[in-house]
Amino acid sequence: MRKIKIFNDSYSACYHLADALKSLNKKESNIAISGGSSPLLLFNIMKDNFMPSDFSNLNFFWVDERFVEKESEESNYGNFSRILIDNNIIKPNQVFPMHKWGSSNQVIKNINQEIKMNVKFINNLPSFDLIILGLGDDGHTASLFPDNLIALNSNEIIIKTKHPKSKQQRLTLTKNVINNSSEIIMLCVGKNKAQIVKDVLINKNKSLPASYIQNENEYVWYLDEDAASLLN
């Protein structure tokens, strides 16, 4: 079931998302998070406004990752680590990154094993308690891009993709895994996202990977007023 929540601004949207994570902390829960600029705001809000005990029962996995070393500023895990682990908000043993430390096949094999050991399976696929997604200007989500819609049909847990412009290699959870989660939150803020939000939510443009994300349990869009400005 899809819901839309509209907040005054990006800070408010990210603060409420941090609070949603705190609500999941009542029991051990498995979260998969995305990269990009909006999560950086989320991480800083978690650091500045919450306590380590607010997230101590959460395990953090990644929806997708740029295949770079963790020291890189482009590393989703690296940014998470520098903000939350280095400041003692999240403990290292709560985190299951997919950064570049060997070949992409080695990393995929390792993450597959960690997911199988820690995440419950439903319908022969892992089912995360929450997956947090972002929406690109081109309609991509996770690292599932419009130029490779065939990748949406994969039955794997994690696949390799490439950014269509930079050709940078990515690792990503597949659409089927994302849709198999207990809850999905799509975080999308900023005026530059207004048209693509409309294309997905109103126009249901099937050339956009984000249009294929669905969930029978709980699927909530967290938008600020700018991102939601063309929905009326």
First to last CA, the chain: 20
* Helix, strand or coil, per DSSP, at residue 101: coil
pLDDT one-digit tens code per residue, 14-64: 999 999 999 999 999 999 999 878 899 999 999 999 999 999 999 999 999
Asked whether residue 92 is assigned to any structural domain, the reply reads yes
CA distance readout (Å), 230 to 146, 193, 225: 22, 10, 9
Asked whether residue 119 is assigned to any structural domain, the reply reads yes
Amino acid in position 202: I
Q: Is the dihedral of CA 123, 99, 107, 175 positive or negative?
A: positive
Say what the pTM is. Answer: 0.96
What's the DSSP call for residue 102?
S
Asked whether residue 231 is assigned to any structural domain, the reply reads no
Q: For 192, phi and psi rounded to 5 degrees?
A: -65, -10
Determine the structural domain holding residue 15 and report its residue range. Answer: 2-224
Asked whether residue 230 is assigned to any structural domain, the reply reads no
CATH of the domain at 114: 3.40.50.1360
Asked whether residue 153 is assigned to any structural domain, the reply reads yes
Asked whether residue 229 is assigned to any structural domain, the reply reads no
Distance, CA of 42 to CA of 14 (rounded, Å): 5
Asked whether residue 91 is assigned to any structural domain, the reply reads yes
pLDDT one-digit tens code per residue, 186-196: 999 999 999 99
Distance, CA of 146 to CA of 227 (rounded, Å): 20
Please give the tally of structural domains in the chain. 1
Instruction: List the structure tokens of 168.
Output: 């940078």
pLDDT one-digit tens code per residue, 76-92: 999 999 999 999 999 99
Q: Is the dihedral of CA 213, 219, 225, 229 positive or negative?
A: positive
Asked whether residue 108 is assigned to any structural domain, the reply reads yes
Q: What is the pLDDT of residue 38?
A: 86
